[in-house]
Structure 1
Amino acid sequence: MKKIARKKHLEMRLQSIPTHPKPKVNLEQYTTPSIIASDLVWNAFSLGDIDGKTIFDLGCGTGIFTIASALMGASLAVGIDIDADSIDLAKEVSYNLNVDNVKFIKNDIADFNCSYDVNTVFQNPPFGSQRKADSGQDLKFVKKAVDLETEVLYSFHMASTEEFLINYYDENNLDITHIFRYDFPIPKIYDFHIKDNRDVRVIAIRAEL
């Protein structure tokens, strides 16, 4: 498979990945827009974190970071999600895009036992954009990435928690090297949503373990 040479081309490929087929409010499922996913993955590629590497996408949803990593030259990209509907769709999309260096696993990340040497982890976990969301879900994903002994972690969080996160990462011996900032669009997909769309300010932290 020919590696993509331009960020815009990567974004265009990712635009064909559909949103969650049956979004579940308890999992806080919001699909990462292609423009954000392509920007973060392109930066990760530029930093040497993708090409020839083993990539894990925790809470992969419909597989946008898994597939993007594969398109950018990962030796293997593995997506893990607890939601069977999302995993089934991710498999279908990767097949249609002729991406063969991927693997999708239905599993709760808390129960997943890894037999791979993981180089890079991407994760867009439930980060508390809902008022009634369980706090700290994103930190459970960070802890799992540490358990996987990954070399590099890219993790999304609410920008409002940045100061806390910097201290948390430092206390857990995670060296933050970059912080990427995005306006993350939240569409009206759940019954309790009032506005058609709203933007939530998020950060994606790159940390080395």
Structure 2
Amino acid sequence: MKKITRKKHLEMRLQNIPAHPKPKVGLEQYTTPSVIASDLIWNAFSLGDIEDKNILDLGCGTGVFAIGSALMGANSSIGVDIDDDSIELASEVSGKLKLDNVNFIVSDICDFNESFNADTVFQNPPFGSQRKADKGQDLKFVKRAIELNPNVLYSFHMASTEEFLVSFYKDNDLNISHLFRYEFPIPKIYEFHNKEKQFVDVIAIRATL
């Protein structure tokens, strides 16, 4: 496969990954847009966090960060998600792309115990954009990532919780090096949505352990 040398080319590749086939409201499943995923992956690549590294995508959904990392030269890339519909689709996409450095596993992140020494973890967990969402799921992901002991963590959160998150990361001995800010589009995919699309301010935190 031809090496990707421009962020726009990465974005175009990621655009071909379909959205969640059967989004489940209880899992707060929203597909990360290719423009956001490609920007974060490109930045991570530029910082030396992807090429020849072992990548773990927690709560991977349809696998955009696992696949994107594989396309950018990861040594190995694993996506983990509790939703088998998402994992099935992610596996199909990686198969069509003939990526031999990516694998997908159906598992709750807390039960994922495979012997895999991740250098870099990506995660876009449920971050509580819904009024009735189960709050604190993103912190559960951060704590699990700490247990897996990677070198670097990239994690999405609601921008409105930034002040709390900075303290939380510091209290857990995580060193924040970068904050990436995005407007995350929430499409009308669930019955309770009354707008075709709304935008939520989110941050992606890069932290070292």
Mean Cα deviation higher: 178-187 or 110-119: 110-119
What is the alpha-carbon distance in structure 2 between the residues aligned to residue 202 and residue 116 of structure 1? Answer: 29
Alignment-derived partner of residue 130 in structure 2: 130
* Letter of the structure 2 residue corresponding to residue 5 of structure 1: T
Please say if residues 114 and 148 of structure 1, whose CA atoms lie closer than 8 Å, have aligned partners that are also in contact: no
SS state at 1:16 partner: coil
1:66: how far off?
A: 0.4
Alignment-derived partner of residue 12 in structure 1: 12
Alignment-derived partner of residue 40 in structure 2: 40
> Where does structure 1 lack aligned partners over 5 or more consecutive residues?
none
What is the alpha-carbon distance in structure 1 between the residues aligned to residue 2 and residue 59 of structure 2? Answer: 27
Q: How does 1:89-100 map to 2 (within 5 A)?
A: 89-100=89-100
1:147: how far off?
A: 0.5
Task: Determine whether 1:190 maps to 2:190.
Answer: yes
Alignment-derived partner of residue 173 in structure 1: 173
What is the alpha-carbon distance in structure 2 between the residues aligned to residue 112 and residue 21 of structure 1? Answer: 23
What is the alpha-carbon distance in structure 2 between the residues aligned to residue 111 and residue 86 of structure 1? Answer: 18
Give the number of equivalent residue pairs.
209
How does the TM-score come out when normalised to structure 2?
Answer: 0.99
Alignment-derived partner of residue 86 in structure 2: 86
1:202: how far off?
A: 0.1
Alignment-derived partner of residue 66 in structure 1: 66
SS state at 1:198 partner: strand
What is the alpha-carbon distance in structure 2 between the residues aligned to residue 107 and residue 46 of structure 1? Answer: 30
* Letter of the structure 1 residue corresponding to residue 193 of structure 2: H
What is the alpha-carbon distance in structure 2 between the residues aligned to residue 165 and residue 19 of structure 1? Answer: 28
The root-mean-square deviation of aligned C-alpha atoms, in Å, is: 0.6
1:99: how far off?
A: 1.6
1:145: how far off?
A: 0.6
Please say if residues 57 and 80 of structure 1, whose CA atoms lie closer than 8 Å, have aligned partners that are also in contact: yes
What is the alpha-carbon distance in structure 2 between the residues aligned to residue 144 and residue 114 of structure 1? Answer: 13
SS state at 2:206 partner: strand
**4+ runs of 1 displaced by more than 3 Å?**
none
* Letter of the structure 2 residue corresponding to residue 138 of structure 1: D
Q: Percentage identity across aligned positions?
A: 72
> Where does structure 2 lack aligned partners over 5 or more consecutive residues?
none
* Letter of the structure 2 residue corresponding to residue 198 of structure 1: Q
